Structure 1
Amino acid sequence: MASTKELTVEDKLRAIYDLQLIDSRIDEIRSVRGELPLEVEDLEDEVAGLKSRTEKLKSELDVIEDQIKERKNAIEEHREAIKKYTKQQESVRNNREFNSLAKEIEYQELEIQLAEKHIKEMRASIEYKKQVVEQSEEKLSQKVEHLNHKKSELEAIMNETSKEETALQAKSEEFRAAIEPRLLAAYDRIRNSVRNGLAVVSIERGASAGSFFTIPPQTQVEIAARKKIIANEHSGRILVDAALANEEREKIEALIASL
């Protein structure tokens, strides 16, 4: 194989345009995936958040249920205390002892009322939280279904394109290795600065592909001569003539079909 230094300008133009065609095909494959990987990632985060929230709510419900049991046990203890103090009243020696026990009974009754009030409030809280859990679980179910659909969609696309993309990526690296560093750096700089990733374009109807700016006839002649690398003064893209572009396109299409 000839070294990079021995390449003619035409060889360099063909090499850089081949690289562009390969990279553009990789761009097309990734475009098919589009925002799907990000959508899947966002949905996974959302599902994890909903699961965490639902589990937290269920945990809070368990805590409230335990608190209700504690209050019920306390009520039973207060009732037992009332029975005890009531029985003691039957054998008191004076009014002072009777009144003291009456106050204890009144205190126990107030504690029962307070505990019953707390139980009522906690039951209302349980009903509300159960509704929230139900809504959360319904939303979670919908999100999981949506996530599974998106994952299947992404997996199908990946299965269909990953082999080709991997092969093309290897070819891209192979082609890059054959291009002189300065030209490659210019290619990468232009490619990264334009939205469609086209750093090398052909002349079509007197203008660079995808542009409305006409290329002067003399410049078109120079481009067709393939004696020097010429960039579009408006976009900075490297220009190749239509004949060279067609030849390389056929070659790369055959290469891609063989992968």
Structure 2
Amino acid sequence: MATKTETTVEQKLRALYDLQLIDSRVDEIRNIRGELPLEVEDLEDEVLGLKTRMEKLKTDVETINYEITAKKNMIDDAKTLMKKYTEQQKNVRNSREFNSISKEIEFQELEIQLAEKNIKEFKAQIDQKKTVVSSTKERYSERESHLKHKKGELNAILAETEKEEKALLIKSENYQNDIEDRLVIAYKRIRANVKNGLAVVPIERGASGGSFFTIPPQVQVEIASRKKIITDEHSGRILVDPVLAEEEQEKMQAMFSKL
């Protein structure tokens, strides 16, 4: 690992503010995308869920149709048996045999009635499932269309910003490598704890950037001297003077425009 060359406090402040400008630009790009990636992901999950539901309903209908066919075959078998038993009744030798065959015929009649009742129930289930399939298809079509639109939005934004974001992330890594570790750690800690990720801010109208707390004149003079790293006592942010900030903003803006 290469050792980081010794730098002045001013150089450290410039490097930290440059890093902040890079990371803020990355934040800006990600804010442009906003919630779109999560929205697309949620829509993809919903569309997949609706598709799975339709496939299950289709399988259910196929299973019920199979059951209907089985019941129809059972009815045909029962009718064949009834015909056979009716013929047998003509040749019985006593009333006991006649009654026994009559019970078999009666049993087959009950089987037919039960099968017909089952078929009627199965057909009602199919009608119900077809209604659900129809509404699910409609919902699926609507959500799939919405997903296509949102994906188009996201892809357009990615096409515009992805290359720049990747380049900026590499720049951020390179800048961090040139700053001593303790400052990078402090910078990341502050950045994680403050609003909108601003860890290094310039003085604006006598106050810390983004803050309403006035910085005493003597502290402003110290900051402008660039002899030591000074943090805002209220927010913990690292402070830089407006002149340095403007110089670095111009420099980094020129770099951003080339990405």
Which category of TM-score, normalised to the shorter sequence, fits these structures?
over 0.9
Q: Equivalents in 2 of 1:118, 1:80: separation in Å?
A: 20
**Distance verdict in 2 for CA 1:243–1:103, change over 3 Å:** same
Runs of 4+ in 1 over 2 A off after TM superposition: 3-6
Q: What is the match of residue 117 of structure 1?
A: 117
Residue 40 of structure 2 is aligned to residue 40 of structure 1: yes
How many residue pairs get matched? 257
SS of 1:196's partner is: helix
How many angstroms does 1:47 deviate by? 1.4
SS of 1:203's partner is: strand
After TM superposition, the structure 1 = structure 2 runs for residues 25-64 of structure 1, keeping only pairs within 5 Å, are 25-64=25-64
Q: Equivalents in 1 of 2:146, 2:35: separation in Å?
A: 15
How many angstroms does 1:4 deviate by? 4.3
Q: Equivalents in 1 of 2:93, 2:241: separation in Å?
A: 122
Q: Equivalents in 2 of 1:200, 1:4: separation in Å?
A: 21
How many angstroms does 1:5 deviate by? 4.5
Q: What is the match of residue 149 of structure 1?
A: 149
After TM superposition, the structure 1 = structure 2 runs for residues 85-164 of structure 1, keeping only pairs within 5 Å, are 85-164=85-164
Identity of aligned residues (%): 64
How many angstroms does 1:195 deviate by? 3.0
SS of 1:219's partner is: helix
Q: What is the match of residue 7 of structure 2?
A: 7
Q: Equivalents in 2 of 1:110, 1:4: separation in Å?
A: 94
Q: Equivalents in 2 of 1:96, 1:43: separation in Å?
A: 71
The one-character-per-residue Cα deviations of 1:46-95 (angstroms, maximum 9, x if unpaired) are: 11111111111110110000000000000011111111111111121222
Q: What is the match of residue 208 of structure 2?
A: 208
The one-character-per-residue Cα deviations of 1:139-189 (angstroms, maximum 9, x if unpaired) are: 111111111111111111100001111111111111111111111111011
Q: Equivalents in 1 of 2:63, 2:4: separation in Å?
A: 74
Q: What is the match of residue 237 of structure 1?
A: 237
How many angstroms does 1:6 deviate by? 2.9
How many angstroms does 1:34 deviate by? 0.9
Q: Equivalents in 2 of 1:7, 1:63: separation in Å?
A: 77
The one-character-per-residue Cα deviations of 1:117-148 (angstroms, maximum 9, x if unpaired) are: 00001110110011111111111111111111
How many angstroms does 1:114 deviate by? 0.4
1:86 maps to amino acid: T
Worse-superposed segment, 233-242 or 39-48: 39-48
Q: CA RMSD in A?
A: 1.1
The one-character-per-residue Cα deviations of 1:89-125 (angstroms, maximum 9, x if unpaired) are: 1121222221111111111101000000000011101
Structure-1-length-normalised TM-score: 0.97
SS of 1:239's partner is: strand
SS of 1:179's partner is: coil
Q: Equivalents in 2 of 1:55, 1:194: separation in Å?
A: 49
1:102 maps to amino acid: S
After TM superposition, the structure 1 = structure 2 runs for residues 15-30 of structure 1, keeping only pairs within 5 Å, are 15-30=15-30
Q: What is the match of residue 174 of structure 2?
A: 174
How many angstroms does 1:14 deviate by? 0.6
How many angstroms does 1:45 deviate by? 1.3
Q: Equivalents in 1 of 2:63, 2:195: separation in Å?
A: 55
Structure-2-length-normalised TM-score: 0.97
2:88 maps to amino acid: Q
The one-character-per-residue Cα deviations of 1:181-208 (angstroms, maximum 9, x if unpaired) are: 1111110110111230100000000001
Q: Equivalents in 2 of 1:108, 1:130: separation in Å?
A: 32
1:157 maps to amino acid: I
Q: Equivalents in 2 of 1:96, 1:168: separation in Å?
A: 98
